[in-house]
Chain A
């Protein structure tokens, strides 16, 4: 047993029991971050803040939401939006944050891809990040079911149908997932449970893993420079802050994060109060009706690119392409055969690969929403082929990439 002495102060009392000084040193004052970073390095904190907003607004919404097929729609659109004081505010924050968090996640992901922050020891950061992406996707989808509007119902119908695996006709699996032949009370209840308990727990755990995965390989920097963190931190601690290539997590790094968060929140609250429509589809303000299929069924914008990889092919082929799109990003650290962990602009063909992938995914996103007819359907088809093709060529173009001598 440890030796305890009479505490001289509350701080000392806590320090003996929780080692708060050590924790503070390890987690913030001597957690070293490269100095050479730009505002894109703050996206993690922006996501964390947005997740916090989702969590807090979600707790308030949970107090009035009714997971019942007869009451859900009115509990959201009448009770929360009109009767409960500031219920509309929590709902708009929740709805807008759910959409905006994906924008930031995509920026965060493409930042990682651009700067090569997924290799040379940073593989687990990337993989845990992708697991978070999957968990956030499941969280967004299950949350979208809850207002029980037309789009909730029909998106639920379409997405759960995917589990019949096309030609395999696994209808039993679909019924097992739904708890019924069609989305109904059992379906709403289980998605409610997933949305408010199981998936948030998974997200919290994965956030821990993601942060932990950063610890040993350290955060990348915007030149991909290999930094001797031990030497540089010594330089910093000896007072040569100007020439040290590292900064403290707190307050150095966090102050820059908070600057970006501050500017982001102006944009975020502008959307919440004055431009929330993009995040709340009008079709979902019609109550769910199993006898009336909406003219156009489409997922929220952040799922459109993978939806469009599913759509232009025949059922079985589409499902295979869709499955490919879901897992392929996980494999990025292993498909990129080049040892260069530097910005894409200083690499060989990968430079073009990056921008081609980004533009192709935007095209897929756009085509995933418009009706699949004529020209749109053709563009979507070729964009899906380009997506698959880009992943197939990635190992080859990166294998022959010249080693960068920095």
Chain B
């Protein structure tokens, strides 16, 4: 009984210390952001039902999207290579093949009409100061603006892969991959680094990456960090709430709000787990067996002690 009392005292002091040093200290050091589950409440709700056929004509025609964006699945190539695009626009405009599934539809509608506002980067792109966002707003093709935008978004949704076909890798590459490298997955801002047979080819590729990064650095103010270990250094909650609205943590940051849907955010996090914490399933599996072993060991140890001490009392 006395031993149990001593154990209780030791445990209590240990837990108090743990609480103060971990949960309490971290709550004092880091701002807690709750987030709104990727609802984008500040953006207007969708009102119109779009038509994909009309949307296709707008995207490829009067909308002017394909002047800068590629749509690989629809056979529309990029007007220029990634490095030249970054040197012209600051960052390579995204391929729109899967934009309709990765990004939230409400966000896309708002984005087409007013990019700087929707992306939360008006502090950086203020027309009054002569700073214009590289993506111009769409002012309409002559008809009802809201209807036209709804049509374009519906078209993008119609060409995108189905929800269940969207892999974590695709979600990451579409949403984050043009600014952030992920070198534990060989991902660079201009795509996955292939295996080269000739050193010259590898150096040429690396040079392209460096040129791209120089343009990106100029555009963003600093090179966006490699995200390989972010699942351990930031954790899931931080990543999700940061992606939902970077301004909530870093007021004035050049990082735009990305506009991913809640499902795509899950996929992005899953990709970061696959890259930064790839052994997590093995850890849980092995953990079970080790725990069982440790418990059996403890039982035998207790029995041995009882056996030995029987003669001593």
Contacts and interface: CB of A to CB of B under 8 A. Distances in A.
B233 A282 contact: yes
Nearest to B28: A370
A242 B301 CA distance: 22
Nearest to B298: A262
Contacts of A81: 279
| Interface SS of chain B | helix
Given A255-B309, A259-B304, A265-B297, A286 B21 contact: no
B256 to A, nearest CB: 22
Contacts of A287: 229
Interface string A88-120: 110010000000000100010000000000000
Interface residues of B, number: 51
Contacts, number: 136
B21 A304 contact: yes
Contact of B291 (A39, A242, A273): A273
Given A88-B283, A259-B302, A371 B17 contact: no
Contacts of A35: 312
A149 B302 CA distance: 42
A258 B25 contact: no
Nearest to A289: B225
A82 B184 contact: yes
Interface string A180-207: 0000000000000000000000000000
Interface string B294-306: 1101111110110
A283 interface: yes
Given A282-B233, A365-B17, A371-B29, A258 B305 contact: yes
A252 interface: yes
Contacts of B22: 278
Interface in A344-390: 358, 362, 365-366, 369-371, 376
**On chain A, which size bracket covers the interface?**
35 or more
Contact of B235 (A258, A282, A304): A282
Contacts of B207: none
Contact of B301 (A88, A262, A301, A304): A262
Contacts of B16: 362
A258 B233 contact: no
B312 A247 contact: yes
A77 interface: yes
Given A39-B6, A40-B6, A259-B304, A241 B298 contact: no
B313 to A, nearest CB: 7
A258 B287 contact: no
A295 B31 CA distance: 12
A64 interface: no
A304 B22 CA distance: 12
B164 interface: no
A103 B14 contact: yes
B301 A259 contact: yes
Q: Chain A: interface secondary structure?
A: helix
Max chain A C-beta neighbours (<10 A), residue from B18, B21, B283, B309:
B21
Contacts of B297: 262, 265
A276 to B, nearest CB: 9
B30 to A, nearest CB: 9
A358 B21 contact: no
Contacts of A88: 279, 282-283
A241 B2 CA distance: 22
Contacts of A103: 14
A304 to B, nearest CB: 7
B10 A366 contact: no
Nearest to B184: A78
A50 B312 CA distance: 29
B305 A255 contact: yes
B27 to A, nearest CB: 9
Interface of A: 35, 38-40, 74, 77-78, 81-82, 86, 88-89, 92, 103, 107, 241-242, 247, 251-252, 255-256, 258-259, 261-263, 265-266, 268-270, 272-274, 278, 280, 282-287, 295-296, 301, 304, 358, 362, 365-366, 369-371, 376
Interface of B: 2-3, 6-7, 10, 13-14, 16-18, 20-22, 24-25, 28-29, 184, 225, 228-229, 232-235, 276, 278-279, 282-284, 286-287, 290-291, 294-295, 297-302, 304-305, 307-309, 311-313
